Amino acid sequence: MTLDYYRIFYYVARYKSFSNAAEMLGSNQPNITRCMNILENELDCKLLIRSHKGIQLTTEGEHLFRHVAIAIEQLTYGEKEIIHIRRKPKVVFVEKPDIQIIGSGAGRKGNKGKIRKFL
């Protein structure tokens, strides 16, 4: 069983519709239905109650959805974090020049002192 089946289940359960899930996933309704049948067969239980009014989750489907929703949300956050890290500008550290302020009144009002740069 691949993660794709659980992702499809997540959207079917969320939208309570094979057609809406298919649209969201860029697929088609027959493919979504086939994937849900495979998932139910693999888990050996009914997850969805199908009717002309839409989809409802069985008790098993509700339990699975809670876990799958957490996993999908965490994966989505992980993907977004990676995208953010890759787009973040790289910080380049340059060596700070040696500058020293000399003079007894440096920093006082009216007496700025002298700046000497060391090479």
Instruction: For residue 49, list its beta bridge partners.
Output: 56
The answer on pLDDT for 20 being more than 70 is yes
> Is residue 50 within a helix (H) or strand (E), and if so which, with residue range?
strand 48-51
Per the CB < 8 A criterion, the answer to whether 106 and 100 are in contact is no
Burial of residue 39 (number of CB atoms within 10 Å: 0-12, 13-18, 19+): buried
User: Which whole number is the average pLDDT over 108-117?
Assistant: 53
Q: What is the pLDDT of residue 1?
A: 74
Helix extents (H) in 48-115:
59-87
Q: What is the pLDDT of residue 87?
A: 87
pLDDT in tens, 48-103: 999 988 899 999 999 999 999 999 999 999 999 999 888 877 666 666 666 555 65
Would you state the structure tokens that stand for residue 57, as one six-digit string?
């989750």
Q: What is the pLDDT of residue 86?
A: 86
